[in-house]
């Protein structure tokens, strides 16, 4: 099938873009980008995660330009990202170094360091708060002042930047197999297209940048009927991870010589799956498999769903699509899936003409055959 170049749409396209601007501005009001950054925390987190680019200010600009449409904002972020040089790779970031703001476990009531609820919608009543319609900047400042004056938990000596992991506790108990650091250099899906079977590093990179809704839906499918898994969240933690970069001009990469470049907020989840293992003499033993999820910002549902899909893809049960890496990994990327779906509305004039010709021919052929079949009995008579 060849392509045919056509013209004549330039003015219409220019006017269409004007209509888009009109839709954004028609009420005569604009949102400041810093207000988006201040008040749209969760949307910013989602956009940063799906675009695989950590920058609250860029995400806020993208959200403004996209009029709050996450898929368009992610597209803008990915496009902008492609214009920037990758200057550095970080030193290995360890979630054990997280300055925790929220940390819960569904496995144990009492965990070392305690269950820290932090900021979460989970404990709200989900009743629309109409008072927010009248909220002012002054109200915000008063609230912040009053909150700062409230006494904190001054006698609690918990250290937030070195909380022990629930998994480590299970490993110490012998309930999980001990695990050594594997320093194999990771693959990078932004540099090289994936081939199946994929490596673990490719799977995790694709899952963490997956579209929140797609990752959540497939994770849900794996729970509900395509694998009927029921994991328990061993630990969900949210907080800031410090990022360090080695000096690019020296060979010595000592820890104390590194540059601290700032911290990034992430959500991390470790889920536990009971797995039945067949032993030598026909005995069965139950042990735990671990699913891992992590994403930029606070996005708990995505991180939990990622941990489910990580476990599914590690298991690779051929009975279920949610365990099939091609099915999962090739369909969860926001730009790829929305881009492909969206291309259907672009001109397909030649393709459709060809289809139309085929339909006309088959209809014509069908009619004459129909006529023949109707006429045939007459001949017989």
Partner 1 sequence: MNRKMRTEILLKGSVELAAKLAGEIQAKYDIKIIAEPNLGLAMLKVRETAQRTLFYLGEVLITECKVLINGHLGIGMIKGDEQEFAYYLAIIDAAYNAELPETKVWTRIFRQEDAKIKKLDIDFKNKVIQTKVNFQTMDV
Which segment (134-142, 265-273, 323-331, 364-372) binds partner 1 by CB under 8 A? 265-273
Shortest Cβ distance from residue 149 to partner 1 (Å)?
11
* Residue at token pair 């201040």: 38
Binding of partner 1 by 108 (CB under 8 A):
no
Q: Which of 218, 233, 290, 308 binds partner 1 (CB under 8 A)?
A: 290
Shortest Cβ distance from residue 69 to partner 1 (Å)?
21
Q: Which of 21, 136, 182, 278 binds partner 1 (CB under 8 A)?
A: 182
Shortest Cβ distance from residue 343 to partner 1 (Å)?
26
Binding of partner 1 by 201 (CB under 8 A):
yes
Q: Which helix (H) or strand (E) holds 59?
A: helix 56-65
Binding of partner 1 by 130 (CB under 8 A):
no
- What is the Cα–Cα distance from 24 to 71, expressed in whole angstroms? 17
Q: Footprint of partner 1 on residues 57-96 (CB under 8 A)?
A: 57-58, 81, 84-96
Shortest Cβ distance from residue 195 to partner 1 (Å)?
17
Binding of partner 1 by 318 (CB under 8 A):
no
DSSP 342: H
Residue 188, token pair as written in the block: 């990078």
Nearer to partner 1, 162 or 365 (CB): 162
CB distance 247 to 307 below 8 Å: no
> Which string of DSSP letters, residue by residue, matches 210-272?
B-HHHHHHHHHHHHHTSS----EEEEEEEEEEEEEE--TT-S---GGGPEEEEEEEEEEEEEE
Binding of partner 1 by 258 (CB under 8 A):
yes
Cα–chain center distance at 168: 26
Nearer to partner 1, 248 or 282 (CB): 248
Nearer to partner 1, 201 or 337 (CB): 201
Q: Footprint of partner 1 on residues 20-49 (CB under 8 A)?
A: 49
Q: Footprint of partner 1 on residues 224-243 (CB under 8 A)?
A: 242-243
Strands 232-245 and 284-296: unpaired
Q: Which of 16, 225, 232, 247 binds partner 1 (CB under 8 A)?
A: 247
Binding of partner 1 by 153 (CB under 8 A):
yes
- What is the Cα–Cα distance from 38 to 61, expressed in whole angstroms? 12
Please count the other Cβ atoms lying within 10 Å of the Cβ belonging to residue 143.
11
Q: Which of 38, 160, 275, 330 binds partner 1 (CB under 8 A)?
A: 160
Residue 257, token pair as written in the block: 């010589």
Q: Which of 2, 8, 28, 152 binds partner 1 (CB under 8 A)?
A: 152
Q: In whole angstroms, how far apart are CA 377 and each of 367, 371, 372?
A: 16, 11, 9
């Amino acid at each position: 099938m060849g392509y045919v170049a056509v013209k004549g749409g330039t003015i219409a396209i220019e006017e269409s873009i004007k209509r888009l601007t009109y839709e954004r501005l028609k009420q005569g009001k604009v949102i400041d980008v810093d207000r988006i950054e201040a008040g749209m925390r969760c949307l910013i987190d989602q956009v940063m995660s799906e675009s695989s680019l950590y920058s609250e200010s860029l995400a806020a600009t993208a959200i403004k330009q996209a009029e709050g449409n996450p898929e368009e904002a992610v597209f803008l972020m990915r496009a902008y990202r492609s214009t920037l040089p990758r200057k550095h790779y970080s030193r290995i970031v360890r979630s054990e170094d997280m300055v925790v703001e929220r940390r819960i476990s569904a496995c144990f009531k009492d965990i070392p360091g305690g269950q820290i609820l932090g900021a979460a919608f989970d404990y709200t009543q989900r009743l629309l708060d109409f008072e927010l319609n009248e909220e002012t900047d002054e109200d915000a400042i008063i609230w912040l002042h009053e909150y700062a004056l409230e006494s904190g938990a001054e006698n609690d000596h918990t250290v937030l930047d070195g909380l022990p992991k629930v998994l480590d506790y299970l490993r110490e108990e012998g309930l999980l197999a001990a695990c050594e650091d594997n320093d194999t250099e990771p693959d990078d899906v932004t540099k090289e297209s994936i081939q199946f079977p994929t490596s673990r590093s490719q799977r995790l990179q694709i899952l963490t940048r997956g579209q929140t809704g797609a990752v959540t839906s497939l994770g849900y499918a794996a729970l509900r009927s395509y694998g009927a898994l029921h994991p328990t969240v061993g630990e969900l933690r949210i907080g800031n991870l410090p990022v360090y970069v080695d000096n690019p001009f020296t060979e010595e990469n000592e820890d104390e010589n590194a540059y601290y470049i700032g911290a990034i907020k992430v959500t991390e989840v470790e889920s536990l799956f009971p797995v039945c293992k067949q032993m030598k003499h026909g005995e069965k033993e139950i042990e735990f498999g671990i699913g891992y999820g992590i994403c930029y910002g606070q996005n708990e549902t995505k991180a939990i769903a990622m941990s489910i899909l990580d476990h599914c893809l590690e298991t690779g049960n051929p009975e279920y699509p949610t365990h099939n890496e091609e099915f999962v990994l090739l369909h969860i990327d926001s730009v790829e899936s929305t881009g492909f779906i969206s291309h259907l509305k672009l001109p397909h004039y030649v393709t459709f003409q060809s289809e139309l010709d085929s339909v006309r021919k088959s209809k014509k052929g069908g009619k004459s055959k129909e006529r023949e079949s109707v006429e045939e009995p007459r001949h017989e008579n």
